[in-house]
Chain A
Amino acid sequence: MTATHDRHAVHIRDVAASYGPTRVLDGVSLDVPAGTVTVLLGPSGSGKSTLLRTINRLVPVEHGTIWLGDELIGHRRMTDGRFHELTDRELCRQRRHIGMVFQDFNLFPHMTALENVVRAQVVVAKKSRSAAVERGRELLARVGLEDKAAAYPAQLSGGQQQRVAIARALAMDPSLVLFDEPTSALDPELVGEVLTVMRDLADEGETTMIVVTHEIGFARDVADQVVFMEAGRIVAAGSVDEILGSGASERVQAFVAGGAR
């Protein structure tokens, strides 16, 4: 996979974040080249979901900077060198380019599958309704759910809901998509269909993907970079062979051996 645009690359520098008095991210730095897949591994509470959420500022960043391409996320650098927080509207403009897929799907339950994919295109991207619907149907077809366009989320299986959620994220044509444990809430037999959609997206190599998951198999197959986190820090980062291969550190091997699929 090669870089399509440098605009799609992510650069994280010295990022720290806390929930109340608890520091959950402690000076994390990471580079994700454009169009590649980075998988974040680590025990629960290691800060991997928090790191993901700082990238689109669902979690406020206390310290450090995050860049998407050459654009600083969440702040603007003034001529005097100081950083100013962005307004809600400016932040939302940046978030349009950063899709997110959640563990609990978070589909909008009062809208059909199609409307879930369409609404933000109309409200945020100001597309015409017909163009948005056309794109919506195209994306539902891409995740194999064109026949479920009229179904409400409550009428879909978990796997189907998550595929709609992926289509919804892709509808904004994001340069980067964040996956926050996308298969953890699914019954085992439904995990495959979601991973297949994610594999297809990775194979296209257009979209940069950062994936928090416990699916070691998926990491081995798809990841260009594997990052192992523990206690709010990155413990190891490298290629699949370096991190998950025979030369892996004892800590990572113990983690992979215990529980992770």
Chain B
Amino acid sequence: MPSSQKPSGSSATSTPATSDTFRVPDVVTVPLRHRGRWAGYAVIVLLLGALAHSLITNERFGWDVVFTYLFSETILNGLWMTLFLTVVAMVIGLAIGILLASMRVSHSRIFRGVAGVYIWFFRGTPILVQLVFWYNLAYLYPELSIAIPGGPTLWSANVNDVITPLSAAILGLGLNEGAYLSEIVRAGILAVPRGQSEAAASLGMTRTESFRQIVLPQAMRVIVPPTGNETIGMLKMTSMVSVIALADLMYSAQTIYARNFQTIPLLICVSIWYLFLTSLLSWGQGHLERYFGRGSTSMPAATERVFALRLPRRSDAAATTTTAGSREDQA
């Protein structure tokens, strides 16, 4: 035991240490040492060093080729196509998803069944097959027309003119995504307690008002994280459209390395772009999660934690100020 009777705050009433062995005078606590941790850090540094060394010295990575093409016109055009496809397919997917989800929670057995079959079909077949199918729609239906049965034809079109690689890609990706998003939206709606819509109804809100004002904002808390995941997945899934010769980021790289055989450098080039875009999306997702998480005590959001690994102090401070800020906004 360390020798007692240092001048401390409890001087007047303090008893000698000998008479009360449970009272310990002020001591300095030595934090527990984590020796294993330092060994782990050393291994990590070693491995990272080896990786960096090989990245720099191995000429086959072809960094000069990577940076020649990173901002080339072909790659940038492909990048725009990838972004466009991601946004359009997600918007269509979300619209279909909300529609299917409301059908799935409907009281009508027919609506529930139809939505169920849609989801079963589009989740159950590979996206690659769906894309090729849409692209070859003209084989099944050479002509599309709207006509009054037994009457005149109001509108008709050659399917080969309507189904371009772009429209086939949008249809394929959008309809497929709708099936996945509907399950996410449904889970979000079911996560809102029944009492919430009862309270809204008791205030005289119609079902639509209740859904928009009360249910959906709360469901968003559950919907946003997996939808962010889906968006990131979609960004990469658009690369599938290269099979129907649509010039997205991936296909653009393929056309280049088909000519110059610099396969690896060009794949690195597109990976850099994909990584850049997915990072942007995760950052945006974090903001959305904080917005829809207002009023809830169980934060921080998943992406916030990813960034917190890198910048613990800054992101913590940012998190507290944003929540405090949004609270005042509501007042």
B-contacting residues of A (Cβ < 8 Å)? 56, 58, 88-89, 92-93, 95-96, 98-100, 102, 104, 106-112, 114-115, 119-120, 123-125, 149-150, 152-154, 165, 168-169, 172, 178
Contacts and interface: CB of A to CB of B under 8 A. Distances in A.
Contacts of B214: 108
Nearest to A57: B201
8 contacts: A58-B201, A99-B203, A110-B295, A111-B295, A123-B213, A124-B209, A152-B294, A153-B295
Contact of A104 (B195, B207, B292, B328): B195
Contact of A172 (B203, B221, B297, B331): B203
B330 A96 contact: no
B218 interface: yes
A150 B330 contact: yes
B281 to A, nearest CB: 24
B196 A108 contact: yes
B199 A108 contact: yes
Contact of A124 (B196, B204, B207): B204
Given A102-B195, A110-B295, A149 B331 contact: yes
Given A102-B195, A110-B295, A115 B330 contact: yes
Interface residues of B, number: 28
Contacts, number: 93
B198 A92 contact: no
Nearest to B195: A106
A102 B296 contact: no
Give me the 3 closest cross-chain CB pairs, A-B, nearest first.
A96-B204, A150-B331, A100-B202
A106 B199 contact: yes
Contacts of B297: 154
Contacts of A108: 196, 199-200, 214, 218
Nearest to B199: A106
Contacts of B198: 58, 100, 102, 106
A193 B296 CA distance: 25
Nearest to A53: B198
A123 B217 contact: no
B202 A123 contact: no
B331 A112 contact: yes
B173 to A, nearest CB: 32
B206 A150 contact: no
A150 B292 CA distance: 17
B286 to A, nearest CB: 18
A154 to B, nearest CB: 5
A125 to B, nearest CB: 8
Contacts of A88: 206-207
B146 to A, nearest CB: 33
Given A102-B195, A153-B295, A93 B204 contact: yes
Contacts of A125: 204
A107 B199 CA distance: 8
Contacts of B196: 106, 108
